[in-house]
Chain A
Amino acid sequence: MTIIFFKRLSILLAVSFFFTKCKKDELTIQPTIPLTTVDNYYQNQTEAINGVNAAYTPLSAIYNGAAWHLGDIMSDDTDLGGGGGGDGIETAELDNFSMTSFNPIINTMWAQCYFGILRANLVLDRVPKVQIISDAIKNRSLGEGRFLRALYYYHLVRLFGDIPLYTNVITAEESAKIIRSPKKDVYNQIIVDLKLAETLLPNTYTVNDKGRATAGAAKGLLASVYLTLGDKTNAAAKAKEIIDNRTTYNYDLWVDYGDNFKLENENGKESLFEVQYRSGGGQYSDYGAGQKLNTFFAPRAQDIVQSSGYGWNVPTKDFADNFEKTGANYNTIIDKRRPSAMWIPGDTYGTYTQSSQLVGSPLGLNVRKYFVPIANTLGDNGGWTCALNVPIMRYSEVLLIYAEAAGPTLGKPFADQVRARAGLAALPIGLTDAQWLETIYKERRLELCFEMHRWYDLLRHPDTNYFINVMKAAGKSNVAAKHRYMPIPQNERDKNSNLTQNDGY
């Protein structure tokens, strides 16, 4: 009996195992909503474009949540302002050079750039294999991938120095082991990418694609990279190439400086590249579609923007004093750029008048460049964020790059062109190279104010102590040589023991 039982049991078991084999398939089932994976996506033109679009997305967060804290507040142009106390404490750390490797703003810049880099790498890896796509879109997409990757690496390399550099579709395991590459390698990759991008990208776009990277944007960024590297020859050549072909790219200066910062002039003739925002409605988020600078920079609690205004990023006296004026008061400033760049006491908007002292702003100064008033009628339905784009590069910067790189003789007419629009006299003839550099630095400071360039200008000055001297003069006694590079975020180092820290942190 027992034997029969075990015999039968073994047959049964054998049968069961047979079924095990054919059941493998039964344990793989389709989800209720079709699942897209990294392996089955990027099959057609739409999916290629969507992949590229995702590589642009980090720009919204970078320019909402990190670029102005690092580019302007950390520089001598602006201070934190705001409500005091614990308000914006992580930004105060940057303003006062007491930042640590835990600083969330530095972390945001690091993280968002790498999100963009992986997405650009995916585009560059997958789009060449896409079959159902026009050549124009394929080239454009590859050009955008190259351009965006270069832009993100450019942000990182200037801020952190040596950084993890990769151009493949990195896995999580690899990313937890990657080491920092020398700055030189990063810059080389940036230059390689931009040189390819300028050949792949179109010069202009039709209406619905305005805001994508153009050949001109790639050339402009490349000129900026060369200038940062001190390669004046190439910087001048690249800038000149844009200037000489400006009709091809449709570039020119607006007659009125303030036209650059109007909703109706987005992606206009002076724009090489800008962060594209649309209204995020009632939501406040660094990561949303809307631009929050409007709320954060407006005079604090004056209710001329949605959410009352926070009064952050307040222009310093040193900055404001750079504007040419005829008297002692700021209302005697003759520079035509001032009214659209900065609020001064006595400025009005409707029934509002800026007072001589505000919370966080002892001199009654505030940034006005990104001001979208509460009652704006251009479809911005308000809330915490607005639709106004933020410039990354304007044609006037190309003129100033050329002016700086080409030197006082060749450069003067181009610097004068920028000054003329501001209602200022032409520069004197016969400046020395050193005087010329100081002059152009000041011109950049005013022309490109609050466009998040100043800190990087301080860093790239041929005098390596320049940023220290300037910031000490601005009363930032904590500043030291180590601040040339920001600390590598500690939470990244916790996950990757191969990531070394910058000196001094």
Chain B
Amino acid sequence: MKFKFALLCLVILLPSFLNPLLAQNLSVSGKVLNKTTGEILVGATISIEGTRKSVLTDANGVYNISVQKGATLMVSYVGLNSQKQKVSTGTDINFSLTESAASSLNDVVVIGYGTKKRKDVSTAISSISAKDIAATPTADAAQALQGKVAGVTIVQGSGAPGGTGGTSIKIRGISSLTGTNNPLIVVDGYPLPDQQSDNVLNSFGTGDIETIDVLKDAAAASIYGVRASNGVIIITTKRGKAGKTSLSLDSYHGVQNAWHLPTSLFAKDYAILNSEARIASGLQLLPKLADFNAIEAQYGTGTNWLKEIFRQASMQSVNITAAGGSDKAQFSLSAGYFKQDGIVYKTDVERFNLRFNGDVKVNDKIKIGNSLSINKFTEHGTDTYSPFNSVILLALTSPPTVLPRNADGSYAGGNGSTDGFNEPNPIYQLEVPKNQFTKYRLTGNLFAEINLLKYFKFKASFGADYNFQEINNFSPATPSSGGRPFILTGYTAQKGLYPDFLSEYTLSYDKTFKKHKINTVIGYTYQENKYSYVLAGRGGNFTQNIPVLNDQIFRATDISQTYNASEDGTNSRLISYFGRLNYEFDSRIYLGFSIRRDGSSNFAPQNKYAVFPSVSAAWRLTREPFLQSVKWLDELKLRASFGYTGNPNVAGNAYIQSINQGFQYTFGNSTGSGGVVSGAAPSRSFNPDIKWEKNEQLNIGFDGSILKSKIGFSVDVYQRRSKDLILYVAPPFVSGTYEAVPFNTGTLQNRGIDFSINARIINSKNVNWSASAVLGTYKNEVISLGLSAPLDGGFTRITGGSLRTTQGAPANFFYGFVTEGIFQNAGEIAKHAVQTAGTDPTTSTAPGDIKFKDLNGDGVIDDKDRTNIGNANPNFTYGLTNTVSYKNFELTIFLQGSQGNKVLNFTRWYTEGGVSNGNYSKDVINRWTGEGTSNTMPRLVLNDPNGNNRVSDRFVESASYLRIKNARLAYSIPSKLIDLLKIKKAMFYVSAQNLLTITKYTGMDPEVGGGVDIGFYPQARTFLTGVTIEF
């Protein structure tokens, strides 16, 4: 069908090829140089204004073009100011381009199905370049964006190597309460499927990236329609330029260490405190711990479990790129290898990536090209995130009086009967189970561009994204005298396949009539996404300890030896039409309109198509006569836009009432586990009207530059409202069903300001100093939850969780009790409200316990006394980059921070007593031990009879931070030496990441995704050395 469509378009527009051009032509040639450095510029674009005709300069910086008399030539080069000149005679015209001003007005911005110059943009789009990315060596492009783009909040919630713990990217807050809040990621025109928490950006080599453009407002993003409510990140990879082939090598090597680890109690203190807690609970002392001095004599300070599981780890990266080509064909090839060991023992990632981008001019009218990237990503991970078995939590709580290994080298660990602690030995957990996650990804497209008539361009593009993932978990039966060893061998293997296909056709039209300029594009895309997996596992006695599912290896001997296999999957299709019309008057007034219509197979039959219009306008005041006289003001542009985007967030078939075939009952003489029969009935109702979530956004902003473009700035103010939010509403049980049904109900709002400024403070022959700063602030508020009850989530080990979303507050605030210090004596307990409804306060509460505030004054502390005790949203986030160069040295310092964000530090739930019978945090030394001893740290008692550990403001901490995210000192070999070595460039650098973090937060790292910290994988402090050489 779509091929026919393409053919039709061709047939319709074919006659335009036949129109011959009849005019007087001149042949013009010349050389293009960089005015500042005097370098020849290879691959600069020379175009004829008002036409699509263009050529590139060759290896000597020389161009040759045939042009009509009176036409205007324009020369452009990335990072330099474009220049224009009218052609009157057929002589040589040489150009010397100056370096662009800080505001980079002529930089090309990718706007989705097209490009624009920065000065002509009427929507809110931020861009960062390869140079910015290269300054932060990381495997994960998302991390490279942190603090660089105003309004984009990046939280690296985990320091797991290679960004595998997920890096959250939120553009202007969140837009959905139940759907994805990840922006749409478009790589070389390919909109990639959302992968929820799986990191999309760490599968690509960051060295391949030329630019990242962030479409922030709805008017910019609405051309991507139903997937764009969280904004769009467009990644453009490096393409070859005509000229001499260049070969470049970038390599770095580094070491990483944890920068802040909490301290646990030493052996003697642990024995004292453990015994104190047992006495308070009326329990016998553990005989092993009863003699404190003997403990110290035997164990010294004891096992430092954190030291056992953390290590100094290495990382390295090598990337080789070859690029070049002729006027007719250009290519860019790259190969990369990245390996990072985690600072947690036994964790690592490894990545290979290959890329091939090519462009071929078939003739003056037709250009074809491709992008292709092939990656393999392997991760050896461990559980550092679950509230039960995270190895970091195990290390925090394992007693210091327990050893990792016995004298004979076998695994030791805490043992229930002697240590009162029956959790797995963390070293055992790291060494014995083998978890491997492998991701193979091939993403690419082929395209053809055909110039029709003078002003039309037709482009067809076909692409595929093949993502194949393998997860293998193997836990061989291995003895350990510690808690819960693997007695039976377990092995599970999962293979998941995510093929995605795209075909896309666009027709664009560009035309200038005197002062009027029109630029339009219309298009059609068809994208198909599938996901399927097969999962199989076995548990039992394996004849050999190797991970195989086959019968030869596996011998079942009784019922406890399990076997399971399952498969599932989804598929969906998106068919879309879109159009955009941009009108420009005299480079002064800009108007833009766009519309997209998305049809999704996931939507209900009567709501198959979603339509997303937008409008934007800009006014360059500095082009007006009344501002011409203001000499210090170089550029001032006002922008305003309004538009709609969407969030698909509809599971396939949500509009159908399906049958749940999972019911079971028993018939026959079943005295054991036999006799089971299956039952089938609906367990949920359905919503025949289910549709996408709608997002509307108003954006007003201005861009400017002053003082000969020494200072550039940009400010945006926005309001975005997400309407028709999909929330799950529980049915009345009288319906005979119990599963909640999705409804389009609820409204969420974000209001905020994005601010960025950059300045070239010193710009002299030997010394250059430039700085840029970004700052973003927003306020999130749930306007309405519609039909839905408040949403609870967060920490899964506590009923009701720790986060709540309800009307009139920011989404996901911390929901808990307010504390009022500590009960100092029995009199205070008697006077105060009963701490737990239905209990006898004389037995459940004792002096030294936390006093919870009776908010509703009913004399009982219960669920009604929980309230909003803070949230993880920062007041603002910011980034500050300073680059200072002196001769051949360049120093870049990048500061990044977040202000006003809170973290519910639930690591302390584990380490401040009551929950685990294991070790305590060092802060517990200052606990309550009698009247007046403490008003913050409660007494020690096992099993927490007063519920001191319930979610309360006691655990809410300020997590504002400022960190030197990255500092780099680079030295480039002087040009004389370069000539001698016959190379183009050589640069050596040393760099440090997370060099210094200023924060009051007591946990391992103030960057906590979601705001509830249970001791996630902390970020490392990294030192690296690297080299970049271009041949």
**Smallest Cβ-Cβ distance to B675: which chain A residue:** A278
Contact mask B656-699 → A, CB, 8 Å, 1/0?
11110101111111111111111111100110000000000000
In the complex, what's the smallest C-beta–C-beta distance from B189 to chain A, in angstroms? 20
Determine the chain A residues whose CB is within 8 A of the CB of B532 once the complex forms.
32
Stretch at the interface among A45-53, A228-236, A461-469: A45-53
Known: A24-B608, A387-B672. A12 touches B12 (CB 8 A): yes
B430 close to A (CB within 8 Å): no
**Smallest Cβ-Cβ distance to A376: which chain B residue:** B671
Q: How far is the CA of A29 from the CA of B836 in the complex (A)?
A: 53
How many pairs, one residue from A and one from B, have CB atoms within 8 Å of each other in the complex?
Answer: 242
B572 close to A (CB within 8 Å): yes
Determine the chain B residues whose CB is within 8 A of the CB of A110 once the complex forms.
733
Determine the chain A residues whose CB is within 8 A of the CB of B456 once the complex forms.
5
* Most-contacted residue by chain A among B658, B732, B733, B735 (CB, 10 A): B732
Contact mask B728-745 → A, CB, 8 Å, 1/0?
001111111110010000
**Smallest Cβ-Cβ distance to A276: which chain B residue:** B666
Determine the chain B residues whose CB is within 8 A of the CB of A15 once the complex forms.
5, 8-9
A8 close to B (CB within 8 Å): yes
In the complex, what's the smallest C-beta–C-beta distance from A422 to chain B, in angstroms? 26
Determine the chain A residues whose CB is within 8 A of the CB of B964 once the complex forms.
none
A115 close to B (CB within 8 Å): yes
- By the criterion CB–CB under 8 Å, are B667 and A378 in contact? no
Interface residue ranges of A17-58 to B (CB < 8 Å): 19-20, 22-24, 26-33, 35-39, 41, 47, 49-57
In the complex, what's the smallest C-beta–C-beta distance from B494 to chain A, in angstroms? 16
In the complex, what's the smallest C-beta–C-beta distance from A437 to chain B, in angstroms? 36
Known: A31-B570, A38-B659, A50-B661. A492 touches B840 (CB 8 A): no
In the complex, what's the smallest C-beta–C-beta distance from A252 to chain B, in angstroms? 18
Contact mask B590-605 → A, CB, 8 Å, 1/0?
0000000001110101
Determine the chain A residues whose CB is within 8 A of the CB of B530 once the complex forms.
32
Q: How far is the CA of A55 from the CA of B13 in the complex (A)?
A: 64
Instruction: Please pick, from B657, B741, B836, the residue contacting A86 in the complex, using a CB distance under 8 A.
Output: B836
A171 close to B (CB within 8 Å): yes
Instruction: Please pick, from A36, A85, A495, the residue contacting B658 in the complex, using a CB distance under 8 A.
Output: A36
A447 close to B (CB within 8 Å): no
Stretch at the interface among A184-192, A263-271, A405-413, A472-480: A263-271
Contact mask B628-670 → A, CB, 8 Å, 1/0?
0000000000000000000000001100111101011111111
A164 close to B (CB within 8 Å): yes
B844 close to A (CB within 8 Å): yes
**Smallest Cβ-Cβ distance to B684: which chain A residue:** A172
Contact mask B244-284 → A, CB, 8 Å, 1/0?
00000000000000000000000000000000000000000
Determine the chain A residues whose CB is within 8 A of the CB of B118 once the complex forms.
none
Q: How far is the CA of A11 from the CA of B12 in the complex (A)?
A: 8
- By the criterion CB–CB under 8 Å, are B667 and A172 in contact? no
Q: How far is the CA of A278 from the CA of B577 in the complex (A)?
A: 57
A277 close to B (CB within 8 Å): yes
A3 close to B (CB within 8 Å): no
In the complex, what's the smallest C-beta–C-beta distance from A174 to chain B, in angstroms? 8
Q: How far is the CA of A37 from the CA of B736 in the complex (A)?
A: 16
Known: A33-B569, A208-B668. A115 touches B733 (CB 8 A): yes
Determine the chain A residues whose CB is within 8 A of the CB of B732 once the complex forms.
172, 175-176, 492, 495-496
- By the criterion CB–CB under 8 Å, are B736 and A114 in contact? yes
- By the criterion CB–CB under 8 Å, are B735 and A278 in contact? no
- By the criterion CB–CB under 8 Å, are B657 and A41 in contact? no
- By the criterion CB–CB under 8 Å, are A85 and B734 in contact? no
Determine the chain B residues whose CB is within 8 A of the CB of A41 once the complex forms.
659, 680
Known: A47-B680, A277-B666. A117 touches B736 (CB 8 A): yes
Instruction: Please pick, from B1, B599, B663, B682, the residue contacting A57 in the complex, using a CB distance under 8 A.
Output: B663
Determine the chain B residues whose CB is within 8 A of the CB of A212 once the complex forms.
667
Known: A178-B734, A289-B676. A172 touches B575 (CB 8 A): no
Interface residue ranges of B517-531 to A (CB < 8 Å): 522, 524, 530
Interface residues on B, range: 35 or more
Determine the chain B residues whose CB is within 8 A of the CB of A22 once the complex forms.
1
A119 close to B (CB within 8 Å): yes
Determine the chain A residues whose CB is within 8 A of the CB of B731 once the complex forms.
172, 175-176, 495
Determine the chain B residues whose CB is within 8 A of the CB of A49 once the complex forms.
677
A9 close to B (CB within 8 Å): yes
A351 close to B (CB within 8 Å): no
Contact mask B708-749 → A, CB, 8 Å, 1/0?
000000000000000000000011111111100100000000
- By the criterion CB–CB under 8 Å, are A37 and B601 in contact? no
Q: How far is the CA of A178 from the CA of B672 in the complex (A)?
A: 42
- By the criterion CB–CB under 8 Å, are A51 and B681 in contact? yes
Determine the chain B residues whose CB is within 8 A of the CB of A178 once the complex forms.
734
- By the criterion CB–CB under 8 Å, are B678 and A278 in contact? no
Determine the chain A residues whose CB is within 8 A of the CB of B571 once the complex forms.
29-32
Interface residues on A, range: 35 or more
- By the criterion CB–CB under 8 Å, are A31 and B653 in contact? yes
Determine the chain B residues whose CB is within 8 A of the CB of A381 once the complex forms.
559, 672-673
In the complex, what's the smallest C-beta–C-beta distance from B906 to chain A, in angstroms? 23
**Smallest Cβ-Cβ distance to A493: which chain B residue:** B732
- By the criterion CB–CB under 8 Å, are B734 and A170 in contact? yes
A210 close to B (CB within 8 Å): yes
Determine the chain A residues whose CB is within 8 A of the CB of B733 once the complex forms.
107, 110-111, 114-115, 489, 492
Determine the chain A residues whose CB is within 8 A of the CB of B551 once the complex forms.
none
Determine the chain A residues whose CB is within 8 A of the CB of B663 once the complex forms.
53-54, 57
A1 close to B (CB within 8 Å): yes
- By the criterion CB–CB under 8 Å, are A119 and B681 in contact? yes
Q: How far is the CA of A111 from the CA of B736 in the complex (A)?
A: 7
- By the criterion CB–CB under 8 Å, are A172 and B679 in contact? no
- By the criterion CB–CB under 8 Å, are A164 and B12 in contact? no
- By the criterion CB–CB under 8 Å, are B666 and A278 in contact? yes
- By the criterion CB–CB under 8 Å, are A211 and B734 in contact? no
- By the criterion CB–CB under 8 Å, are B673 and A387 in contact? yes
**Smallest Cβ-Cβ distance to B454: which chain A residue:** A1
**Smallest Cβ-Cβ distance to B559: which chain A residue:** A381
Q: How far is the CA of A176 from the CA of B674 in the complex (A)?
A: 39
B838 close to A (CB within 8 Å): yes
A142 close to B (CB within 8 Å): no
Interface residue ranges of B834-859 to A (CB < 8 Å): 836-840, 843-844
B624 close to A (CB within 8 Å): no
Known: A118-B736, A492-B733. A276 touches B675 (CB 8 A): yes
In the complex, what's the smallest C-beta–C-beta distance from B525 to chain A, in angstroms? 12
- By the criterion CB–CB under 8 Å, are A35 and B658 in contact? yes
Q: How far is the CA of A57 from the CA of B681 in the complex (A)?
A: 10
Determine the chain A residues whose CB is within 8 A of the CB of B676 once the complex forms.
278, 289
Determine the chain B residues whose CB is within 8 A of the CB of A37 once the complex forms.
656-659
A75 close to B (CB within 8 Å): no
Q: How far is the CA of A41 from the CA of B660 in the complex (A)?
A: 11
A428 close to B (CB within 8 Å): no
Contact mask A89-131 → B, CB, 8 Å, 1/0?
1001000000000000001001100110111011000000000
Interface residue ranges of B87-115 to A (CB < 8 Å): none
Determine the chain A residues whose CB is within 8 A of the CB of B659 once the complex forms.
36-38, 41
Q: How far is the CA of A277 from the CA of B664 in the complex (A)?
A: 10
**Smallest Cβ-Cβ distance to B569: which chain A residue:** A32
- By the criterion CB–CB under 8 Å, are B672 and A380 in contact? yes
- By the criterion CB–CB under 8 Å, are A264 and B671 in contact? yes
Determine the chain B residues whose CB is within 8 A of the CB of A12 once the complex forms.
9, 12, 507, 522
Give 5 nearest A-B pairs by CB, closest first: A118-B736, A379-B672, A54-B679, A32-B569, A53-B679
Beyond the given A15-B5, A41-B680, could you list 8 further A-B residue pairs with CB under 8 A, ordered by the A residue number? A9-B522, A15-B8, A30-B571, A37-B657, A56-B665, A85-B839, A279-B672, A496-B732
**18 A-B pairs with C-beta separation under 8 A:** A13-B522, A28-B601, A29-B573, A29-B601, A41-B680, A54-B680, A54-B681, A57-B664, A85-B839, A89-B837, A121-B736, A172-B737, A209-B668, A211-B667, A276-B667, A289-B676, A387-B670, A492-B733
User: Could you tell me which B residues sit within 8 Å of A by CB distance?
Assistant: 1, 5, 8-9, 12-13, 455-456, 507, 509, 511, 522, 524, 530, 532, 559, 567-573, 575, 577, 599-601, 603, 605, 608, 652-653, 656-659, 661, 663-682, 685-686, 730-738, 741, 836-840, 843-844
